[in-house]
Amino acid sequence: MKHATSGSLERLLDLLTQIRARKGLRERKPGIVYKKSKAFLHFHEDPAGMFADLSVGADFERYPVNTRKQWKELLLAIDRAMETSQRFRLKVRESTF
């Protein structure tokens, strides 16, 4: 499975626009998104379609992104991953006092 090409990413422009609108994320290269200095999300393509790899904890989880329904599932997973890491940071801060 190879990283998505710019032509493939063009088909995901609406999805990428929604991802780019989320605070705390930075797209260093088209389709390669970081949260702070850590790789957070990137896209792949193969004959079976397009996929997104999302960093969840120490691992990446793969999500198909071939339909708008799948886009919504990925966006929800992104929001959950960002919310979880934010709650963890708050918990760590609270425990240091």
Instruction: Write the pLDDT tens digit of every residue in 28-60.
Output: 999 999 998 999 999 999 999 999 999 998 899
Residue numbers of the domain that contains 10: 2-95
- CA torsion sign, 82 to 32 to 72 to 25? positive
How would residue 90 be classed by pLDDT, with cut points 50, 70 and 90?
very low
Three-class SS string for the chain? CEECCHHHHHCCHHHHHHHHCCCCEEEEECCEEEECCEEEEEEEEECCEEEEEEEECCEEEEEECCCHHHHHHHHHHHHHHHHHHHHHHHHHHHHCC
Count of domains forming the chain: 1
pTM of the model: 0.83
